[in-house]
Structure 1
Amino acid sequence: MKLISKTLKIFMLFLAVTLVSCNEEYPDLEDGLYAEIVTSKDTMIAKLFYDKVPVTVANFVALAEGNHPMMGDEFKGKPYYDSLTFHRVMDKFMIQGGDHTATGGGNPGYKFTADFHPSLEHDKGGLLSMANGGGFNTNGSQFFVTEVPYPSLNAYDGNGELKPCQQRGVSCHSIFGELVKGIEVQDAISNVAVDPRTKKPIEDVYILKVTIIRKGSDAKSFNAPEVFESQLPKVEEEISLIQANQKEKIEQERLEREEKIATASVSTKAMIDDYTSKTIALASGLKKYVLTEGTTAKPRAGDSVRVFYEGYFTDGRLFDTDRPEIATKYGMFNQAREDANAYGPTAMWVNPTARMIAGFKEALASLAIGEKAFFYMPSHLAYGESGNRGIPPNTDLTFIVEMVSVIEK
């Protein structure tokens, strides 16, 4: 009985909005291709960028009109989006729909390679963009509507180059439309109560009907199935070429980085050997050589401090540093780390229970404010027999550490 009541409710809403839609021609819309998205919260109108991303728009339009050449047999001849839900809603981010399973794991029976345009950026709310599973060719029927700018979703980087979308953790989403009416509807949907784990609305929000509106001769002549079939191979070829060029560029950068590391490591090894010969061994086996004297004041156990550090293998190779100039010298500068303001003096805790290797805890405790010293750490004071990410087991390490300041409580 509950299922029948729910189905009847959807049908009545669907009938009502169909009658309204049939009588609305939106005379104020300029020439173009539009999608009227009628939801259980009200209606949104999106202008589709068929001149910039024809394949992605053709995919959406053909699904909406039920004539997509690649859609599964069970969907053929039916408006795909009608009666689906917005299955993922995240306030101050986006609303996502277009999955017939309402789980985020469904597809229309195929996946395709979307096209992108450098002028289309996730720089505001109300943008329609394709949801995907990562990479270039995992697009299907799912789309989202942004509520706020979200530049990390852009397919192009700040230099106007297509990002390596096939790499893990790199997001590339094709914008294919923008709301011109009903931005408040997007906001209303984004504010509904959701399951905190799945982000699915507790009470379903429906896409009751999607109707494609064609204004002007160009839009009226846009044949979505034909455009999709004729243009997709060209997009796939372009993307394949871009991927090949990116792979070549990445390999070239890797070789240049290795050469830079090798060159820098030669002089650094000589420095490490020199400093090591001047160290004084402490009772634990940690060896220390003071490079710059500090003040007479030392942090107390429990103090939080800021330090600069450089970590080297004994052969002169750098494995980590919070100094951007040192990272650049060794070809290890990380732009993402720079963007996150993660270079510069690092906050650390001077305490025997701090979560860091034993040798580094002892090194911190030995430094005075303003002091800079070289430390040689036998493997048992470093990562020992287990090793750590990028550091093999039983590896001696060296550090240059500068105690900058105590963080005032």
Structure 2
Amino acid sequence: MREIMPVFETPSPNAPQPGDLALYVHWPFCVSKCPYCDFNSHVRDEVDQAAWRAALLTDLDHEARVLPGRKLQSIFFGGGTPSLMPPSTVAAVLNAAEKAWGFAEGIEITLEANPSSVEAARFADLASAGVNRVSLGLQSLDDQALKFLGRAHDVNEGQAALATAQNVFPRVSFDLIYALPGQRLDDWRAELARALSLGTEHLSLYQLTIEAGTRFATEALAGRIVIPDGDSAADLFEATRADTAAAGLPAYETSNHARRGAESRHNLAYWRYQDYAGIGPGAHGRRGGLATVRRKKPENWLAAIERNGHGMEVEDPLTPSSRATEALLMGLRLAEGIDLDRITALNAGIVPVDLAAVARLEALGLIAHTPGRLRVTEAGALLLDAILPEIVTA
């Protein structure tokens, strides 16, 4: 392993406060479907914007009625492509959310955006609507890679959109995908260095994975796409963590890197297993010990709104064991690790980990276990998927 600057091991000052609530809003529409994407996204020739605005507000009202007395600490508009939403719809959702719950001081309101010039032209209106953080899907700083990934923008258009976003929003993040077919380590490190020079305080860096049901899955099955093997992918992962840490944006989660205090407050709520409500097609929620899932297909979700006053398909109670397992699986992705006492409390007082396995992995330098806290070390981060089934017993 390369020597890597230490990441923080204690919760960031950006931490959500106990009792706060996060809200996720799903906008399912895209201009086109990317070949690697398995998200709930759909291409439609026409969208009845008035009907969609009304339906989102109805779905939100349902969640507000079952979750009274909370404060929103974050709102995240995901998709799909939420930057295709009319700013007036974003404003209507935010106004309704503030009226229903109230906003915590310093609330983070994030919207995912594509870096096209058309969508960048809406950034000022989205900021006026209340968005204060944007997550930009650049995906690559190489035109050939963008073409391979099925992106409609080129590098120049993407960087122009990033510059516009940085002028408009207080906080800006962007995504890159690496471990592409044939990608060499030196080429990725050069691209990453360029990304780090662009001045954002947060980066989401994902290795390309072939997801079932995507066009890339079909291409891979036919042998037309071959992603880097395990050793090459590991080298890319290690270099990514080393270079971002050296630049002052260490990994605070497996794929997310930020300056201290610039972490995504909304995503921390997920990884710290705090309550969040989800509205819109396919949106998931975890609130009050219940798992919620909205109907996935846009037309079915709209029909459910009309019929039931909400888009819910699933609202199931989670067992103590399920809650503890989910909290472990999410929290061990974080550099800070987990509050083991809290997770034990979720599991009716039963320690939800195999302490013998923890001791064995700690001796190998893959896990750090201190009173009340458990975390995966830098050396263990590369092996997270193998570590989790070894230690989780809940």
Shorter-chain TM-score category?
Answer: under 0.3
**Highest relative contact order (Cα 8 Å, sep 6+), 1 or 2?**
2
How does the TM-score come out when normalised to structure 2? 0.21
Which structure has the larger Rg?
A: 1
Name the TM-score, length of structure 1 as normaliser: 0.21
* Structure (1/2) with the larger helix percentage: 2
